[in-house]
Amino acid sequence: MSVEKPVRVGVIGAGMMGSGHASCVAQSARGELMAIADVDLGRAKEMADHHGAAAYAGHGELLVGEDADAVIVCTPDWAHREVCVDAAAAGKHVLVEKPLAMTLEDCDAIIKACDEAGVVLMVGQILRFDPRYGAVKAVLESGEIGDMSYLYARRSNTLLQPRRFEGRTTVLHYLAVHDVDWMLWAMGEPVTEVYAAASRKALTDLGVDDSVFLTLKFASGAVGCIQVAWILPEQASHNLDAYLEVTGTKGALFIDTPNAGVRFESQRPSRIDTTYGFAVGGQTGGALREEVEHFLRCVQEGGEPLIDGRQARAAVAVVEAAAESVRTGQPVRLPAP
Ligand SMILES: NC(=O)c1ccc[n+]([C@@H]2O[C@H](COP(=O)([O-])OP(=O)(O)OC[C@H]3O[C@@H](n4cnc5c(N)ncnc54)[C@H](O)[C@@H]3O)[C@@H](O)[C@H]2O)c1
């Protein structure tokens, strides 16, 4: 595509993430927000009216009705495959929210459809665009902390998340996939074995786990531990409580996410985001904007996305192995990639 021409984009799924993606496209010089689609047409219309875009009741109508170059797929975790495959078949470049899909079979179908259509496939693994996680990766690569020994990551959400998804996704697919992808990327080597254990006390009515603790063995002998949970009280002052520690033979790095640099105490849950998606002077900034800009640049200039379908699939493979380990109580070995 010509670098002079903005990428015409349709956003599919007008929920929490769709809203953020739509604003990023609308404010980008590289993008033109053409349309919003949602199975809930009222929701699509509300967002479309806000941006002066067209609204559709489903992805099929958007693909037929709009001459878009690309789509951003922000449907829930279990509704990525059909939308992405249809979009690729219609010749649209695809940015799909994480996880690429909830099964490896669905991941493969999406990758194949995009390969066959010759379109860009990028996955919204947002930690790759978080400057703190990027800075840690750069130090690891510099060799300054020596040989990697262990990594530890924690990611907790409040009960709002599992409740709104009504048991249709899991804490592994929704949360763990973030840290698994980041660890695979930062380590630059595969996970060879996964062991995981889960607790299920608060979410028995939904039939999903409250928390999962994963132990990952890397090919080099380094060990990773990821702790994910989504049962913090809804009133918690942070919707996201995340932490990262990486330790090598010569040093260590730490990220403490709840420390956003701003503390807000009030009569209701009050959270300030200074990293992922915030507005300054009406302009959206943060990791989500960087992610969307990267995708638009890849489409315009023909570059390889920082996170493509195959890399995103590798994270889903680890998550799936963890789910199997929870079910069987045994460590699961992963096939060599
Ligand atoms: N990168 C991140 O940090 C981050 C954070 C939260 C969620 N997510 C991911 O973003 C995706 C969307 O999450 P969300 O929180 O925005 O969900 P949401 O429930 O707020 O929004 C999803 C929207 O998709 C619509 N929808 C469902 N099926 C559809 C279909 N087949 N076609 C068109 N519309 C459909 C729903 O009506 C809803 O409006 C998920 O995959 C989730 O894991 C990413």
- Looking at residue 173, what DSSP letter applies? I
> Is there an atom of ligand 1 within 6 Å of 126 CB?
yes
227 and 149, same domain (yes or no):
yes
Q: Cβ distance 89 to 112 under 8 Å?
A: no
Distance in Å, CA 295 to ligand 1 centroid: 18
Residue 189 lies in a domain: yes
Same domain, 302 and 326: no
Give the distance (Å) from ligand 1 centre to CA of residue 331: 32
pLDDT digits (tens, 9 = 90+) for 256-303: 876 677 877 777 767 788 888 888 888 888 999 999 999 999 999 999
Q: What tokens appear for 179 in the block?
A: 């840290």
| Ligand 1 contacts CB of residue 93 (under 6 A) | no
Task: Please list, in sequence order, all residues whose beta carbon lies within 8 angstroms of the beta carbon of residue 5, skipping any fewer than 6 positions away.
Answer: 300
Question: Do the domain assignments include residue 277?
Answer: no
Shortest-distance Cα residue to atom 18 of ligand 1: 15
- Token pair of 153 as six digits: 């990551």
* 199 and 69 co-located in one domain: no
272 lines ligand 1 (CB under 6 A): no
Does residue 119 share a domain with residue 201?
A: no
Report whether residue 59 contacts ligand 1, using a CB cutoff of 6 Å: yes
How far apart are alpha carbons 281 and 233 in whole angstroms? 32
Q: Is 230 in the pocket of ligand 1 (CB under 6 A)?
A: no
CA distance 81 to 106: 6
- Cβ(124) to ligand 1 under 6 A? yes
pLDDT over threshold 90, residue 157: yes
pLDDT tens digit sequence for 201-251: 999 999 999 999 999 999 999 999 999 999 999 887 778 889 999 999 999
At 257 the pLDDT is: 76
CA distance 332 to 216: 10
- Same-domain check for residues 320 and 203: yes
Q: What is the extent of the structural domain holding 76?
A: 7-125+282-306
* Structural element, H or E, at residue 156: strand 148-158
pTM of the model: 0.97
Same domain, 292 and 216: no
- d(CA 10, CA 94) in angstroms, rounded, equals 10
Same domain, 186 and 121: no
Indicate whether 79 and 114 sit together in one domain: yes
CATH of the domain at 68: 3.40.50.720
If phi > 0 it is left, if psi is from -120 to 50 it is alpha, else beta; for residue 207 that is: left
